[in-house]
């Protein structure tokens, strides 16, 4: 789906990759309605939009709140008349500890945002997307959705669920106008650690950033938007995501040990 003159909804647009997705879409002539839980950072995104801000609308929404998400399509349509696509980008990581040390509140928080947030958004917007001549759903999984990362087991489980959910959607919607893309970012320069309220031993590094070259968020957004415009089935964002996908296909046991050796220092 070419994004020129289309209306897209982006979650997590207040910072990081979500913000860069918003700015990229605006620069390509799209109209964007973005949501985030942080009002301050949303307004920063608006200011960064510059002369494109007339085509940008925002709302403070917790995507883990089903009622708030169900009310969102009406707000988007009230503002822009239609909705042509959604990019489910928002997500959080878990505290960087082994599963045995993770409390239920942390588990539920990660599952509510990363999995149920995507489900709620898709369920709310899909009926509207099906009425459009062309439409698109893009869901952000993760390199951690196909590769086990120690200390991020629940995060990875939610991202693996997003992977298969999105692939199932693709299959269900094959005979419709709605195209579907699953996104696998590797190490991308974002502030997901701070946004998740997580302290990681050794500094501000996400589970996927440590020991890997970090891809700038604007470059990641460019890759993702290009994938949407090409109706790609999936897209690996970053050389690390591509390499680890190859490695785990070639030898999954070796890949698991490889990533453990890269990340084990963060578990001490």
Q: Which has the higher per-residue pLDDT, 223 or 210? A: 223
Has residue 54 been placed in a domain? yes
DSSP structure string for 43-80: HHHHHHTGGGGGGEEEEE--TT-HHHHHTHHHHHHHHH
Q: Is residue 97 part of a domain?
A: yes
Task: Report pLDDT digits (tens) over 127-181.
Answer: 999 999 999 999 999 999 999 999 999 999 999 999 999 999 999 999 999 999 9
Answer whether residue 193 is part of any domain: yes
Residue 1 lies in a domain: no
Render 20-51 in DSSP notation, one character per residue. Answer: HHHHHHHHTT-EEEEEES-HHHHHHHHHHTGG
pTM score, whole prediction? 0.91
Q: What is the tally of structural domains in the chain?
A: 1
pLDDT per position as a tens digit, 107-125: 999 999 999 999 999 999 9
CATH of residue 152: 3.40.50.720
Residue range(s) defining the domain that contains residue 22: 7-267
Sole residue written with tokens 């599952």:
111
What's the rounded Cα separation, in Å, for the pair 97 and 102?
A: 7
Structure tokens at 126: 């899909």
Residue pair 193/206 in contact by the 8 Å Cβ criterion: yes
Q: Classify residue 2: in a domain, yes or no.
A: no
In a domain, 120, yes or no: yes
Residue 209 lies in a domain: yes
Catalytic positions are: 155
Spatial distance between the Cα atoms of 140 and 163, rounded to a whole number of angstroms: 8
**Does 50 reside within a domain?**
yes
């Amino acid at each position: 789906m070419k994004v020129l003159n289309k209306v897209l909804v982006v979650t997590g647009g207040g910072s990081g990759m979500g913000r860069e997705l918003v700015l990229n879409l605006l620069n390509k002539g799209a109209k964007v309605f973005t949501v985030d839980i942080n009002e301050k950072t949303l307004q920063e995104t608006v200011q960064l939009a510059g002369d494109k801000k007339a085509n940008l609308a925002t709302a403070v929404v917790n995507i883990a709140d089903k009622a708030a998400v169900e009310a969102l399509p009406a707000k988007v349509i009230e503002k822009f008349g239609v909705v042509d696509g959604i990019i489910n980008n928002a997500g959080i990581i878990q505290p960087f500890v082994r599963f045995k040390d993770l409390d239920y509140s942390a588990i539920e928080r990660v599952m509510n945002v990363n999995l149920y947030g995507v489900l709620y958004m898709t369920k709310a917007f899909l009926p509207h997307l099906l009425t459009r001549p062309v439409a698109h759903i893009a869901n952000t999984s993760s390199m951690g959705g196909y590769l086990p990362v120690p200390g991020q087991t629940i995060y990875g489980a939610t991202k693996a669920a997003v992977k298969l959910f999105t692939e199932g959607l693709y299959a269900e919607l094959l005979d419709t106008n709605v195209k579907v893309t699953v996104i696998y970012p590797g190490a991308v320069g974002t502030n997901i650690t701070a946004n998740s309220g997580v302290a990681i031993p050794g500094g501000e590094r996400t589970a996927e950033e440590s020991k890997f070259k970090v891809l700038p968020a604007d470059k990641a957004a460019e890759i993702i938007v290009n994938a949407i415009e090409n109706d790609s089935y999936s897209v690996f964002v970053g050389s690390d995501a591509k390499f680890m996908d190859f490695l785990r296909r070639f030898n999954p046991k070796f890949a698991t040990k490889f990533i453990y050796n890269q990340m084990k220092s963060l578990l001490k």
